[in-house]
Structure 1
């Protein structure tokens, strides 16, 4: 048995959270001991497994700020994770052999103060998730970006969620040519997907022959407006009597962007006179998500260069074809023309693919059946579990690649130096 501790910044609802929860469930199914430590966990806004006690969760450092004067999100996130890492190292109740951390690598030097092995899961380089629109923003991000690169290289093992992300990892972290990240695809929770749909919820869905569905967090990078504009073109071509668009997404009232983008999308729908033909849902349950995917004609997956994306896999498993942007993770998950369509991220291209389902009523069933078979063959829980367990068990036994405590303390000092430099900005 290996004792695995998962260290995650914010254990809410999202693809990254789903991935680490599935990893914990996989290890637990093989009788390994697992627990979570996080800087934030809200029982009213989390996955069921962390709500009902299936997975033990310890929340530390939530009193630390998430932002200062509406800024410094990254720095605050780093401070919160470093604080949580110190808690993991010094707390006698945190017994572990391997620490599985993700998203923020700045905590790794602290974790190396213990004898545990550190496994870092890189969903995507954090430095690529923000823009540098001003000199001050560039100046602010420069040391944070460097810190991300150096500390990522200190992990005993690095995992990525797709071959696409592995390529981006190599291009982004130039100094880590010696690091060979292993690909571990996130997988759907088959047990959850096999549960019954919410019949009462299904009955309340718009009664149209063709329901097009978007499932993404309410974030601008998810490009949900593309689904709205493509739907407008579809309406122009086929009329409004047969089609309806449902936009469902993770939503957190604490997150300013969630609130702003939700309003922007509502305003766009109003401007296009589609208010009665587009339904918005926020923070739905797992049963409602299954119901949506089981009822939809197809899923519109609009993010560009998405590093993986678990929703297309969940959709295909529930026999819901996928129309996705032809970049990033969907290139590895969606079979173009067989389980859905990969399109340029333009309204006319998405609309053309949507029209195929309206014009051929048998297409949904044909592509849906092929999608489920593809998921079973390539993204099964069994394959995921075996691969992850091998990695964790080998890592727990491997005592090589130990880093000098002096070097660790040097890196920790550098982390705190960066924080001190930024303090006057506060």
Structure 2
């Protein structure tokens, strides 16, 4: 096996699904003998995964000294692009000063989420760092232009938003075409990426599924929580697109008697720097209370475990990994509410822990969950259908059926979504990149288009602020 010098570029090492994936990518390749360095523009050691702070990985924070993450709460995408470009220039400078090593056959750049740096890596990288062949792999979670909100009520604001977004939307596809290879996290994402950017433009988009960590059989069944209450669990970032209100409405639909001895726990990524996290938590809390449910919010494991018995809905903000695993091992059902989720790692984590999953019948869950075998898929517009599944799992399912679903889930997670499987798939992609010729990305037209994009961004920003 040829060892490579792998440089991973990721915008922000928080505790979301994209961050979990990129950490797993780094660990999987490092375990296979490659040298791995992770570059990021932000890492809060109190708000990131253990591997990013405990020395498991070589993490370097660059590109965070000139451009802030936002300007007056706006221009997040523009600032993210500028921060990534700053990071890229910094890391190329470090690579140029570093002594060459014969241990590695090539330099492999792996970039995810934001492709802004790819043209610089492609056009400047080999010229500046003249030591080994270079290749670029872009891991696409989902097109950013489809994630941007475009539902402004005011028609003038809507037009300005379109003008503001147009150069960024064009730039995303152009920048991505600089990659030597593109992989997606699911068949669903691959189809969407091909439709948005064009299959000829990006070449053969292959699939590399995210993974879950190694299964610890000694911890299959966790300790009882909250006096043995039957726990329903929702794990997501506190973002409106996650549709967590469905979990609250479906739980409320059980009725007072069926909710006795149960609790809905809503846990997930929460960052006080992100206004939407703060606002959405308040909206969910208000919804639950309006429905007559008693709520509580906990920011620590200790406070979470000491909430009163009368609490129906418990919000856990930025739950630690260890406690999240405890929740997965002790809950009765995972409620996974996002629509058209690109992949969704949480359902796979749940299956690995032997926890049945109830999810939206769209997007990634269609590829991970087997109806009736590892969980259920239901329409998010049919709240009653979700309530019926919850009722079945809580009060009607036999222990034999519960164990059958649990074992099916563990087997599926182990076979298709393990760290070893991720490492093997990545190894194949790296070998393919090393053996193939670099995809062309050059010409005066690209320089002119790039300059035009910069000008368009400036104009769009000015219009946005008028």
Instruction: Please report the TM-score for the alignment, with normalisation by the length of structure 1.
Output: 0.93
Distance between the aligned counterparts of 2:348 and 2:41, measured in 1? Answer: 29
1:352 to 388, 409, 434: 388
**Alignment deviations for residues 294-348 of structure 1 (CA, whole Å, 9 cap, x no partner):** 0000100000000000010010010000000000000000001111100001321
CA distance in 2 between counterparts of 1:67 and 1:333 reads: 35
Map 1:387-402 onto structure 2 (within 5 A).
387-402=425-440
Whether the aligned pair in 2 keeps the contact of 1:97 and 1:396 (CA below 8 Å) is: no
2:290 corresponds, among 271, 274, 291, to 271
Q: Is residue 2:258 matched to residue 1:239? A: yes
* 390 and 118 in structure 1: CA distance in 2 versus 1, 3 angstrom threshold: same
User: Which runs of 4 or more aligned residues in structure 1 lie more than 4 Å from their structure 2 counterparts after TM superposition?
Assistant: 93-96, 175-178, 193-199, 405-412
2:10 pairs with 8, 11, 28, which one? 8
Instruction: Map 1:79-118 to 2 at 5 A.
Output: 79-91=82-94, 92=96, 97-112=107-122, 113-115=124-126, 116-118=134-136
**Which residue, 331, 335, 349 being the options, matches 1:300?**
335
For residue 157 of structure 1, what is the aligned residue in structure 2?
A: 181
When residues 137 and 110 of structure 1 are mapped into structure 2, their CA distance, relative to the original with a 3 A threshold, is same
CA shift, 1:381, in A, is: 2.1
2: distance between equivalents of 1:419 and 1:79?
12
Secondary structure of 2:259's aligned partner:
coil
Larger Rg: 2
Going from structure 1 to structure 2, the CA distance change for 1:423 and 1:23 (only over 3 Å counts) comes to: same
1:338 aligns with 2:373: yes
Comparing 106-115 and 312-321, the one that deviates more: 106-115
How far residue 405 of structure 1 moved from its aligned partner, in angstroms, is 6.8
**Cα distance between partner residues in 1 of 2:55 and 2:341:** 31
Q: State how 1:170-181 maps to structure 2 within 5 Å.
A: 170-174=194-198, 176-177=200-201, 179-181=203-205
Q: Which runs of 5+ in 2 are unaligned?
A: 101-105, 127-133, 153-157, 295-310
Equivalent runs, 1:19-418 vs 2, <5 Å: 19-63=21-65, 64-91=67-94, 92=96, 97-112=107-122, 113-115=124-126, 116-132=134-150, 133=152, 134-174=158-198, 176-177=200-201, 179-190=203-214, 196=219, 202=223, 205-236=225-256, 238-275=257-294, 276-345=311-380, 346-357=382-393, 358-362=395-399, 363-404=401-442, 409-410=447-448, 412-418=450-456
Cα distance in structure 1, aligned partners of 2:22 and 2:107: 17
CA distances 1:350-383 after superposition (whole Å, capped 9, x unpaired): 1111111121242432211111111122222222
TM-score, normalised to structure 2, is 0.85
Contact 1:214–1:300 under 8 Å retained in 2: yes
User: Which region of structure 1 is more displaced relative to structure 2, 339-348 or 88-97?
Assistant: 88-97
1:27-76 CA distance string (max 9 Å, x none): 11110000111111111100000110111111112231212222111111
In the aligned structure 2, how far is the partner of 1:264 from the partner of 1:14? 21
Question: Residues 198, 375 of structure 1: CA spacing in aligned structure 2 closer, same or farther, 3 A cutoff?
Answer: closer
CA distance in 1, matches of 2:358, 2:346: 12
- What value does the CA root-mean-square deviation take over the aligned residues? 2.1
**Contact 2:220–2:354 (CA under 8 A) maintained in structure 1:** no
Q: Please tell me whether the aligned partners of residues 198 and 288 of structure 1 are also in contact (alpha carbons under 8 angstroms).
A: no
Aligned residues: 421
Mark the runs of 5 or more structure 1 residues left unpaired by the alignment. Answer: none
